[in-house]
Amino acid sequence: MNSAIVRALLVRGMLAGLGAGALAFVFAYLIGEGPVDAAIAFEEANSHHAAGGEELVSRSVQSTAGLATGVLVFGVAVGGIAALAFCFALGRIGRFGARATAALTSLAAFLTVYLVPILKYPANPPAVGNPDTLDQRTALYFLMIALSVLLGIAAVLLGRRLAPRRGNWNASIAAGLAFVAAVTVAMVFLPAGDNVPKGFPATDLWEFRMASLGIQALLWAAFGLLFGYLAERVLEPRPTASATQTAGLSASAG
């Protein structure tokens, strides 16, 4: 794959990430802001510290412009990274077309970058948790992401090595089981990181975590569909109307 095509796919990946981020923002605003407000209200009701000064950014700005900026920037960034991963995966994980490869890349990213890490370190609302352990919990979460991605890559390489002898189906099952086993071992040995204060409403926590899951699932699903369409137009361009007419005239003359 030459650099011009990679550049075109990178740009389209960022555009697809922007579109997916816009959808994720709407979902986050409509579904995710309620649990966040409940968490902030819980923190304020149970805070034993005197109020500081005025907040630098109002809650209304945080939940609109701030949320939109964060989600859109995240969508563009991961869209570009996923597009590069797509360029590497195309033709190396099987005889899949552009759309199928984009869908598989999105699914793999959702599983390794989000779903597996939160099984060990679930998402908590911004106002929940001990601030003294924030750095430790953040480091553990990113360590889990790194392990999940590396183990996912290792599973793909294992499946490719086993495929000639075991067949694609058996090799995929073996690689998947190896990934699950390795991730389970990592989760057992890594320290716990859940730090929800006592008395925090379980319903609010559950709603926040489901909203977080929904945002990521929507973002990656939308990216896979949008980028698959855009990548297919780059890699498999359709003939123009003039080219089709020329081909038809040539066939008639022959």
DSSP state of 112: I
Greater pLDDT, 129 or 207: 207
Q: What is the pLDDT of residue 244?
A: 46
pTM for the model stands at 0.83
What are 72-95's pLDDT values in tens digits? 999 999 999 999 999 988 887 777
Q: What is the pLDDT of residue 55?
A: 62
Tokens at 238, concatenated: 């359709």
For range 177-198, the mean pLDDT: 86
Residue 246 has pLDDT above 60, yes or no: no
Q: CB-based burial of residue 26 (10 Å sphere; 0-12 exposed, 13-18 middle, 19+ buried)?
A: middle
Burial 164-196 (b: 16+ CB within 10 A, else e): eeeeeeebbebbeebbeebbeebbeeeeebebe
Residues contacting 133, CB < 8 A, separation 6+: 195
Gap between the Cα atoms of 215 and 134, Å rounded: 23
Residue ranges in 110-201 assigned as alpha helix (H) = 116-120, 134-166, 168-189
Residue 151 has pLDDT above 60, yes or no: yes
What are 123-139's pLDDT values in tens digits? 877 766 666 667 788 88
CA dihedral 214, 215, 220, 223 (to 10 degrees): 130
What are 33-49's pLDDT values in tens digits? 888 888 777 777 776 55
Cα distances (Å, whole numbers) of residue 7 to 12, 75, 163, 234, 248: 9, 18, 31, 11, 34
Summary mean pLDDT of the chain: 84
Greater pLDDT, 252 or 203: 203
Gap between the Cα atoms of 137 and 134, Å rounded: 5
What are 12-33's pLDDT values in tens digits? 999 999 999 999 999 999 998 8
Weakest-pLDDT range from 42-46, 180-184, 186-190: 42-46
Q: Find, among 154, 216, 220, the residue nearest to 183 by Cα.
A: 154
Kindly report the CA angle at 189 between 185 and 192, in degrees rounded to 5?
120
Q: Could you tell me if 12 and 234 are in contact, meaning their C-beta atoms sit under 8 angstroms apart?
A: yes
